[in-house]
């Protein structure tokens, strides 16, 4: 069976449709975006907008197709609908997270807060609720691809190192690796970005909005409690008690601050 590709071919492979690219002249290849939605007309529309914006989009329309495409194509961004045949978006997200750290944007027509939190709890980075503007979705994709920002506008750690240590927790900013008691801790891109912001200025108490501006984008609009979900993931991975955390502490009435470990 031929591998999935993003070539300009009108014939879908393994149930994944490809969308023609119109990328600007650049020395870098266009970012790969996999759009997964069982509403084919919507997926095609989103793919067209992404292509016009210079991305390399591909489309899938079921859960199993999405997992196969994500594994074979290694997209930079996965736009994933929650309601899919075969496997729902939550299960697709869970499976993709076992082999990929691509950015995952959940699409959902559901307005219940629980649905959004479930998607985030299995590794999604962000969500957007239907109905939405395709331009808004493209802007959200552009925003996540601006992360991580290589430049650090805030002062570096006191020792001018690319590594920060908080007790048994070691954070390497260049390699984006985190270890706890010498053992690696697998973080999603968003989890690492939040940790990096907190740890680079450990004496500062960050509000949810400030963290969103730094990690997501200043133009991001949505429920700011998305930060709480990702903080909870970090604490769980660090084996922290939320009532008495060692590494990320809650500043009542403000937000979060890096602890000493």
What digits encode the pLDDT tens for the residues 190-207?
899 999 999 999 889 999
Picking from 99, 79, 94, 83, the residue whose alpha carbon sits closest to that of residue 36 is 79
Q: Is the dihedral of CA 122, 128, 131, 132 positive or negative?
A: negative
Domain ranges in the chain are 17-145, 163-258
Q: What number is the average pLDDT over the span 175-201?
A: 91
Find the angle CA(7)-CA(13)-CA(19) to the nearest 5 degrees: 40
Radius of gyration of the chain (CA): 19
Q: What is the Cα–Cα distance from 55 to 174, expressed in whole angstroms?
A: 26
To which residue do tokens 């590709």 refer? 5
| pLDDT score recorded for residue 15 | 45
Angle of helix 89-96 relative to helix 63-73, nearest 10 degrees, comes to 20
Q: For the chain, give me the number of helices (H) and strands (E)?
A: 8, 13
| pLDDT score recorded for residue 255 | 93
Identify the weakest region by mean pLDDT among 67-81, 88-102, 112-126, 242-256.
112-126
pLDDT of 27 above 50: yes
Class of 17-145 in CATH: alpha beta
| pLDDT score recorded for residue 151 | 36
Strands 126-129 and 77-81, how do they pair?
unpaired
Identify the weakest region by mean pLDDT among 87-101, 208-222, 233-247.
208-222
Strands 32-36 and 77-81, how do they pair?
parallel
How does the average pLDDT of the chain come out, rounded? 81
Three-state secondary structure call for residue 194: helix
What digits encode the pLDDT tens for the residues 30-85?
999 999 999 999 999 999 999 999 999 999 999 999 999 999 999 999 999 988 99
What digits encode the pLDDT tens for the residues 142-156?
888 876 543 333 444
| pLDDT score recorded for residue 41 | 93
> How many residues would you count in the chain?
261
Cis peptide leading into residue 148 (ω within 30°): yes
Q: For residue 261, how many other CB atoms are within 10 A of its CB?
A: 16
Please list the helix, strand and coil fractions of the chain in percent, rounded to the nearest 5, in that order. Answer: 35, 20, 45
| pLDDT score recorded for residue 226 | 84
| pLDDT score recorded for residue 3 | 38
Find the angle CA(253)-CA(260)-CA(206) to the nearest 5 degrees: 30
| pLDDT score recorded for residue 64 | 96
What are the backbone dihedrals phi and psi of residue 103, each rounded to the nearest 5 degrees, phi first? Answer: -70, 135
* Token duo for residue 54: 């210079």
Instruction: Give the percent of the chain with pLDDT over 90.
Output: 46
Q: Is the dihedral of CA 83, 89, 90, 92 positive or negative?
A: positive
Q: Is the pTM of this model over 0.75?
A: no
Q: What is the Cα–Cα distance from 62 to 80, expressed in whole angstroms?
A: 10
What digits encode the pLDDT tens for the residues 106-142?
887 766 666 666 777 777 888 888 888 888 899 889 8
The correct answer on CATH 1.10.10.60 for the domain covering 163-258 is no
pLDDT of 101 above 70: yes
pLDDT of 238 above 90: yes
């Amino acid at each position: 069976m031929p591998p999935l590709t993003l070539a300009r071919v009108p014939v879908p492979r393994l149930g994944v449709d490809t969308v023609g690219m119109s990328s600007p002249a650049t020395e870098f290849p266009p970012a790969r975006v996999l759009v997964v939605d069982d509403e084919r007309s919507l997926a095609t529309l989103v793919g067209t907008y992404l292509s016009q914006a210079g991305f390399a989009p591909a489309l899938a329309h079921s859960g199993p197709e999405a997992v196969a495409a994500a594994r074979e194509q290694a997209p930079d961004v996965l736009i994933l609908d929650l309601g899919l045949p075969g496997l729902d978006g939550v299960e697709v997200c869970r499976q993709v997270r076992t082999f990929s750290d691509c950015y995952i944007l959940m699409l959902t027509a559901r307005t219940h807060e629980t649905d959004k939190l479930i998607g985030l709890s299995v590794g999604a980075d962000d969500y957007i609720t239907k109905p939405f503007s395709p331009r808004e979705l493209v802007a959200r994709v552009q925003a996540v691809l601006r992360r991580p920002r290589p430049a650090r506008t805030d002062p570096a750690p006191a020792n001018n190192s690319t590594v920060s240590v908080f007790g048994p927790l070691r954070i390497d900013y260049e390699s984006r690796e985190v270890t706890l008691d010498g053992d690696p801790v697998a973080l999603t891109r968003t989890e690492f970005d939040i940790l990096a912001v907190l740890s680079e200025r450990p004496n500062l108490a960050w509000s949810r909005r400030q963290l969103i501006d730094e990690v997501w984008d200043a133009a991001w609009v949505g429920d700011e409690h998305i930060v709480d979900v990702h903080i909870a993931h970090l604490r769980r991975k660090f084996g922290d008690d939320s009532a008495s955390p060692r590494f990320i502490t809650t500043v009542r009435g403000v937000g979060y601050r890096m602890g000493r470990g």
